Amino acid sequence: MFCTAWLDGVAQGPVEAGLVDGDLGGAHRVCPATSVGLTPTAYAIIEPENLYGRILATGTLTGSWAVNDRLELYTRLEAVRLDMLIAAISTSALGPGYTTVGASWRGVDGEKWALAVQGKLVLPTAFVHDEHSAPLAADAGVQFVWAARDTLLVHAALMPNVGMALGGGPLYPRVGVNVDAGAEWRAFPRFAFVLDGISAFGRTDTLDYAGVGVGFRGGIGEHAGLALEARVPLVGRERALTSADVRFDWRF
Amino acid sequence: MLFFLTLVACDGPACLGGDPSCLMPSPCEAVTYSCEGGSTDAYWLGPDDVPPGGLDALGSVGDLVLQNDRIVAVIEALDHPHYIAPTGGSILDLGITGKDNDSLRHVFQATGLLPEEGFHYTSMELVSDGDIRAVQLLGTLDGYPDVAVATRYEIRPCEPGLRVRTEIGNGTPDALSVYLTDGFYWGGRENLPFTPRAGAGFTHPSFGLSDIGTAFFDVPFMVAGMHSEPGASYGVVACSEELLSGFQSDNVSAMGPKPRVFPARDWDVYERFIFAADGSAISGAADLAWELRDQLWGEAWTTLSGTVEAPGGKLGENLRASLLIVDADDVPVTHVLPANDGSWSARVPADRTYTLHAEAFGREVATSEVKVGGDPVDVGTITLPAVGEVSIDVLIDGVSDYAVVNVIPADDATAAATESTVFGFFDSCAPMLGLTHGGSPACNRLIVNGPTTIALPAGNYDFYTSRGPFSTLGAAQGVVVEAVTGQSLTLEVTSLDVQPAGTLTGDFHVHGGASFDSTMPDDDRVKAFVASGLEVVVTTEHDVVNDYADAIESLGVADRFTLLTGTEATGHVLFRFRSDYGFPQVVGHWMYWPVLYDPTAPWRGAAYDEKAEPGLLTTRQEDLGWSPTDGVVQLNHPYGGASFGRDYSWATAMGVDQTLPLDQAGGSTSQAIFFHKAEGARYGNDEYDVQEVMNGTKNEALLQYRSFWHYLLDQGIVRAGTANSDSHSLAENVLGTPRNVVFTTTTRADFDVATFNADVRAGHILGTNGPVIVASVGGHSPGLESFAPGADDVLHIEVSAAPWVPVAEVRVLVNGTVHAYTDLTHPADPLGAEGLARLTLDVALADLLPAGTADAWIVVEAGSPLVEQDDLDCNGLPDTGDNNADGSIDWRDVEELEADPGVNCFDVVGPLAEPAEPERGTADWLFRTVTPDGYPMSFTNPFLLDRDADGVWSGPGLP
């Protein structure tokens, strides 16, 4: 089974530098792992012509528990979220961010392939930022992985998602679907490279975005991992130049 | 789960979900007022209704009136937007019931500074609940259709203001930077905002669009007072926040909750109480504000009272004094104007120690300290320094008549002892006889009509007056004013034979209280019309029309001048019209006359003038009755600065490079927008008649306006040049200085507006602030009709002026090349009536014109030598003078440069240099006594010489 080649600290799975809060719509790895991590993230919109810019940075804590070799429960907690808006009147907010809890279950697989059911819930814990509303979002979908070789995985994911705002105001419901596909290649024992085609539809517009995700992943010893990842929307309504993160993980 | 259920159940906004039948809750439930016999009323203004009155009143048919036993407010109809707001639904008028004292310009809602952040209301519904009356407005942000907004204005019996609730929800996927605010658009020269913050009061930091963040401060409330009576004071206290955040200026104040990151799907609610008190004093509104703070936040207040004594003067009649009350933490808490009997009272927070700063003539003259607990305190009598009284009469040709008298310190000591500003606003005055931009007396000027008594601090003063530039200068010099004494002066003025026969004088740019940036009462404005000696006055209020009929009738001066009603289209709402510029703009200021005054119509008959290129403005004015054949379109002050990103001037907004020709091939680039015809327009932007070459008494931008005029002439684009005062009050530009001398066949006795305007359009105009030029070539006068000159034709010039108008040189400009003549005569006695003729000159055209037969233009000027200015950014426009007086104009003269930028063309330039300050007693100084900061200047319109006699005049091309 190809997961046996990914038991050390080198990250596995699609690029996770989400363009949406809590990485809503993003697929998760199919090979369960028990780990803890620290992930600084950044998201940037720069539009001088509209007198608008946004720099969003978080200090995110991650944790996962491999319940067994098929099921992983995971969480990501934005311990600190800094949202800076550059406008005619600029503003910023600093406080705790969103909390994500999710699960991935590799339901069926073969020696060279796997099909996982995945989902997550993004909880409204950014109390400083969302002063009145409580945006709640969830996704659920499937990811197929085919191991061309144990060190070369091809993945594709379909992740419908939904969100709405609680808190007494309008619900502002949004429904969309993410469709991502890509490949990760462990070119060296302690280094992997991932390239994804990313797309999302329906959440904010017919085409939310289409673009690429790219990641560079390294392992330090048997347990530690370091990854630099980014998603870059190229077309669609999404205004961000990029979202990026740096992942420090310790795998038990 | 309990947490999420709590979130679902909390009291949220009512009208953000798109339900048109929603009902917003009543705001400010903690506020309570009670009285006997309270009442409310709400109604849509109909053609037979009399709208609330006042200096700033603009309510019109279709607007909504909310009224109770204390205040009356007008909420403009959705299709009657004013000023910065993209739609109606703002507070247009607010005054005291039955007082007709509206002096509030406009209060609108926005979430930021950009046009797309204004509230775009789409529905407006009247709501009644018992004796509560309210109007509920629903809409979106103007540039964000997914950001829902809703506002409720509510009035209850007995209450001195409106309860206001605004809801907003971010339905976009993006986080927005939101400053949910009421914009109090004062307009400038009108209400002065006051905030109780340490070191503040009337003092607020200056700021621009780029550093506005530094101007934000948290305050418990904001109040504002007016310059003129009858007026009201205004204020706002938040109900949903303990403190308000915002910025203040005499142009606009913004007050609301702190600016915040507004994430997608979040919502917000802001509740506040916007109120009015009778009278222009800050203390009226501040009293209400402290009372509301007590109701809302439990802040106790008490009352201070006392008496002010002013030996030698009459408080409220000829002497204005006030008290600024400041606590021990340097927080000004209120500002009081004593009544005519000297008594005063004001509410202040309890349990503090206060210093009372007494002010007279704009200067602090006494202080007193008092400690208060919870009970009212009488601080006793505050005695101001004694003053003297002067009674002034002006005889025009031997008869008492309206005149503007300028009071000027006669020595440096008196100047130093009397110079002051209005709480730091506006230019300084010495002495400050009254608030700078209010009615007479204002700054150091007053209107008299028969003996008029003013109070003055002891000192040595000169008094000057004239009847415009074509009379003698009436003067009383070195008048010593002693405390508690009175004396009388008579200034005598004689009309002089300077104005050419067959002419009418006119000022085509005049503002009064109806303009958003003027508080000059109609009566005083009309008195100034008479005092100016103008024969034709075109009233040109910003965005609206005013005919001054009531004031003219009540003063009985209808036969003293001819009044034409016009309007100055003044852009407030930024929009994008240039393809080569990344930011939204406005198109500067444009004048239209005559336009019909309609007291029941929005903008009083003017056309809506926002988001329109000049040609579309003209189209809209024509749709309302302005006639292109009988009327005039004037480009005002072509170059200038900006206020809150709103350009004052079309040429500045275009960004024209005057070293390059204009582009007639189409498009909307900086070189092409001049000719552009906007969608829906019947006119191109270039289809205007005249442009201001002189604007304002100071005339500081003459070289730039003139440069643009010549730039167009060189390209064969011929527009007449005008000279206007742009006067807004007594204190700044002097009405009729400069003015147009129009050579016309119509007369005051049998005035024909079409004939007069035809002569204006044809350039039969001399523009002047004193010197008079009569010029001709082969029997042809200046004007836009070209002619073929004879081979032996000469340019004949006669220059004359009143004796107090120095004329140092005459300039003949041929295709922009200057020929100067300085052999002029000068009168022996500037205060006399002799020595009017200064120069008679004949110059052969052959000696002036370049070789060949190419068409040419000639303009004649007379006055002082022009201050040298240079073009340091290489766009063909003079922009910088020798500001450091080192004999050369270079980077050292540029205010914003601290080092040589090392390039030939600078990115930053300016300022223009001003004429040197003349020495006291010189002829130039005397000229300035009634022409403040000005210098003598006049110009003819061009002679257009069709030298090749092909019947078509062509410009000589750019140099």
- Residues B489-503 have pLDDT tens digits of 999 999 999 999 999
CATH class of A2-251: mainly beta
pLDDT (tens digit per residue) in A165-192: 999 999 999 999 999 999 999 999 899 9
Is the pLDDT confidence value at B9 over 50? no
CA distance A14 to A29: 7
Q: Is B691 found in the same domain as B584?
A: yes
CB proximity list for B733: less than 8 A, separation 6 or greater: B696, B697, B698, B725, B726, B727
- Would you say residue B646 lies in a domain? no
Taking the C-alpha atoms of residue B395 and residue B377, their distance in angstroms, rounded to an integer, is 50
A1-15, B234-248, B316-330: range with highest mean pLDDT: B234-248
Q: What is the pLDDT of residue A2?
A: 87
How far apart, in whole angstroms, are the C-alpha atoms of residue A110 and residue B705? 83
User: Dihedral (C-alpha) B725, B727, B732, B733: value to the nearest 10 degrees?
Assistant: 10
Q: Which residues of A have a CB under 8 Å from any CB of B?
A: 45, 48-49, 51, 54, 56, 83, 85-93, 124, 126, 129-136, 163-170, 172, 174, 203-204, 237, 239
pLDDT at B6: 44
φ, ψ of residue B413 to 5 degrees: the values are: -65, -45
Percent of chain B past pLDDT 70, that is, above it, reads: 99
**Quick one: pLDDT band at residue A1, thresholds 50, 70, 90?**
confident
Structure letter (DSSP) for residue A31 = S
- At B553, which helix (H) or strand (E)? helix B549-555
Strand arrangement of the beta sheet that strand B192-194 belongs to: B119-129, B132-141, B144-155, B161-170, B267-278, B232-238, B222-225, B192-194
Q: How far apart are the CA of B6 and the nearest CA of chain A, in angstroms? A: 8
pTM: predicted TM-score of the whole model, two decimal places: 0.94
b/e code B227-239 from CB counts within 10 Å (16+ = b): bbbbbbbbbbbbb
Contact call for residues A247 and A39 (beta carbons, < 8 A): yes
Q: Is residue B668 assigned to a domain? A: no
Q: Is the pLDDT of residue A231 over 60?
A: yes
Cβ-Cβ contacts under 8 Å, B260 against chain A: 91, 93, 131
Q: Which two tokens stand for residue B101?
A: 């004292």
> Are B143 and B72 within one domain?
yes
Centre a 10 Å sphere on the Cβ of residue B409 and count the other Cβ atoms it contains: 21
Instruction: Return the CA Rg of chain B.
Output: 29
**Cα angle vertex B145, ends B141, B147, to 5°?**
60
Residues whose CB is less than 8 angstroms from the CB of residue B216 and which lie 6 or more positions away in sequence, other chains included: B245, B246, B247, B259
pLDDT at B11: 64
Q: Is residue B664 in some structural domain?
A: no
Residues B111 and B155 in one domain: yes
CB contact under 8 A, A167 and B267: yes
Say whether B263 and A48 touch across the interface (CB within 8 A). Answer: no
- Note whether B276 and B307 are same-domain residues: no
pLDDT tens string B340-364: 999 999 999 999 999 999 999 999 9
* CA B317 to the chain's CA centroid: 26
Q: Do B485 and B529 fall into the same domain?
A: no
Q: Is the dihedral of CA B504, B509, B513, B518 positive or negative?
A: negative
Give me the residue from B9, B113, B177 closest to A91, CB to CB: B177
Q: B169–A169: do the CB atoms touch at under 8 Å?
A: yes
User: Where do the structural domains in chain A lie, given as residue ranges?
Assistant: 2-251
Q: Of B173, B781, B833, which Cα lies nearest the Cα of B500?
A: B781
pLDDT for residue B12: 83
Domain co-membership, B378 together with B322:
yes
Average pLDDT over residues B397-415: 97
Q: What is the pLDDT of residue B2?
A: 43
**B692 vs A51, residue with greater confidence:** B692
Please state, in angstroms and rounded to a whole number, the distance separating the CA atoms of residues A2 and A31. Answer: 9
Query: In B712-755, which ranges are E strands?
Result: 720-724, 739-743
What is the model's pLDDT at position B438?
A: 86
DSSP state of B98: T
Distance of CA A54 to the CA centre of its chain: 19
Cβ pairs A/B, distance under 8 A = 118
HEC string for B473-532? CEEEEEEEECCCCEEEEEEEECECCCCCCCEEEEEEEECCCCCCCCCCCHHHHHHHHHHH
Residue B525 Ramachandran class (φ > 0 left, ψ -120 to 50 alpha, else beta):
alpha
Residue with tokens 């002569």: B759
Helices vs strands, H then E, count in chain A: 0, 13
Do the Cβ atoms of A170 and B148 come within 8 Å?
yes
Which residues, 6+ apart, have CB-to-CB distance to B831 below 8 Å? B472, B473, B475, B803, B804, B926
Cα three-residue angle B833-B835-B839, rounded to 5 degrees: 145
Q: What pLDDT, on the 0 to 100 scale, is given for residue B383?
A: 95
Give the three-class secondary structure for A97: coil
B271 touching chain A per CB within 8 A: no
Which pLDDT score, from 0 to 100, does residue B8 have? 42
CA-based nearest distance B266→chain A, Å = 5
In angstroms, the CA A161 to CA A178 distance is 8
Considering only CA atoms, which of B176, B175, B180, B177 is closest in space to residue B165? B180
pLDDT over 60 at B10, yes or no:
no
* Rounded CA separation A246/A41 (Å): 7
User: CA geometry: angle at B249 spanning B184 and B440, to 5°?
Assistant: 90
What string of DSSP letters covers B842-877?
Answer: EEEHHHHSPSSS--EEEEEEEESPPPPEE-SSSSSS
Assess whether B475 and B582 both reside in one domain. no
Interval A158-162 mean pLDDT: 98
pLDDT at A88 over 70: yes
pLDDT for residue B316: 83
Query: What is the DSSP code string of B244-291?
Result: EEEE--SSEEEEESPPEEE-TT-EEEEEEEEEEEESS-HHHHHHHHHH
pLDDT digit string, tens, across residues B51-66:
999 999 999 999 999 9
**Final residue belonging to a domain, choices B459, B493, B527:** B493
The pair of structure tokens assigned to B908 is 């930053």
B261 to A48: CB separation less than 8 angstroms, yes or no? no
d(CA B369, CA B822): 63
Q: What is the mean pLDDT of residues B802-812?
A: 98
pLDDT value of position B52 = 92
Beta-strand pair B192-194/B119-129 = unpaired
Q: Do A93 and B260 make contact, defined as CB atoms within 8 angstroms?
A: yes
Distance of alpha carbon B649 from alpha carbon B634, whole angstroms: 12
Q: What was the ipTM of the complex prediction?
A: 0.96
Instruction: Say yes or no for a CB contact (<8 Å) between B175 and A83.
Output: yes
Q: Are residues B286 and B323 in the same domain?
A: no
CB contact under 8 A, B8 and A169: no
Task: Tell me the mean pLDDT in the region A103-112.
Answer: 95
Q: What's B342's domain CATH number?
A: 2.60.40.10
Does residue B696 surpass a pLDDT of 70?
yes
Task: Specify the residue for token string 């739609």.
Answer: B87
Non-local (6+) Cβ contacts of A126 within 8 A are A21, A78, A81, A95, A96, A97, A98, B263
**Residue among A89, A129, A174 whose CB faces B112 most closely:** A89
Nearest CB partner across the interface for A172, out of B113, B114, B265: B265
Of B171, B175, B213, the CB nearest to A89: B213
Radius of gyration of the CA atoms of chain A, in A: 18
* Residue written as token pair 């699609």: A14
Q: What's the pLDDT score for residue B421? A: 86
Range list of H helices, B663-752: 702-714
Mutate to test the interface with B, among A91, A201, A243 (most CBs of B within 10 A): A91
Q: What is the mean pLDDT of residues A225-243?
A: 97
> Which residues of chain A are within 8 Å of residue B252 when distances are taken between CB atoms?
none
A170 contacts in B (CB within 8 Å)?
13, 16-17, 148, 169, 171, 265, 267
Q: To the nearest whole number, what is the mean pLDDT of chain B?
A: 95
Domain hosting B623: range is: 503-640+675-945
Tokens, residue B467: 């009847």
Tell me the pLDDT band of A110, cut-offs 50, 70 and 90.
very high
Asked whether residue B959 is assigned to any structural domain, the reply reads no
Partner A, chain B 169-228, Cβ-Cβ below 8 Å: 169, 171, 173-179, 209, 212-213
B174/A124 CB distance under 8 A = no
CB neighbours (10 Å) of residue B43? 13
Burial label, B295 (beta-carbon count in 10 A; 0-12, 13-18, 19+): middle
Question: How many domains does the structure of chain B reveal?
Answer: 4
Q: Residues B860-908: pLDDT tens digits?
A: 999 999 999 999 999 999 999 999 999 999 999 999 999 999 999 999 9
Q: Are B137 and B45 part of one and the same domain?
A: yes
Tell if the CB–CB gap between A88 and B209 is shorter than 8 Å. Answer: yes
Q: Are residues B608 and B733 in the same domain?
A: yes
Task: State how far the Cα of A132 lies from the Cα of B768, in Å rounded to an integer.
Answer: 63
| Domain endpoint, select from B337, B360, B383 | B383
| Residue of B179, B209, B266, B579 to mutate, interface with A, max A Cβ within 10 Å | B266
State whether B515 and B480 are in the same domain.
no
Distance of CA B599 to the CA centre of its chain: 22
Residue of B nearest to A56 (CA): B175
Are B174 and A239 an interchain contact pair (Cβ–Cβ within 8 Å)?
yes
Preferred mutation among B177, B209, B574, B644 to probe A, highest tally of A CBs within 10 A: B177
The H-or-E segment that residue B292 falls in is helix B282-297
What is the chain B residue with the closest CA to A168? B12
Q: Cβ of B169 and A172 within 8 Å?
A: yes
| Residues B520 and B444 placed together within one structural domain of the fold | no
Buried/exposed code over B74-110 (b: 16+ C-beta within 10 A; e: otherwise): bbbbbebbbbbbbbbbbbbbbbbbebbbbbbbbbbbb
User: In terms of pLDDT, which residue wins out, A7 or B102?
Assistant: B102
Confidence of residue B228 (pLDDT cuts 50, 70, 90): confident
Contact B547, B565 (CB under 8 A): yes
Encode burial over A175-202: b for 16+ CB neighbours within 10 A, e otherwise. ebbbbbbbbbbbeeeeebebebebbbbe
Whole-number pLDDT of residue B435: 87
pLDDT tens by residue, B439-491: 999 999 999 999 999 999 999 999 999 999 999 999 999 999 999 989 999 99
User: Which has more pLDDT, B50 or B392?
Assistant: B392
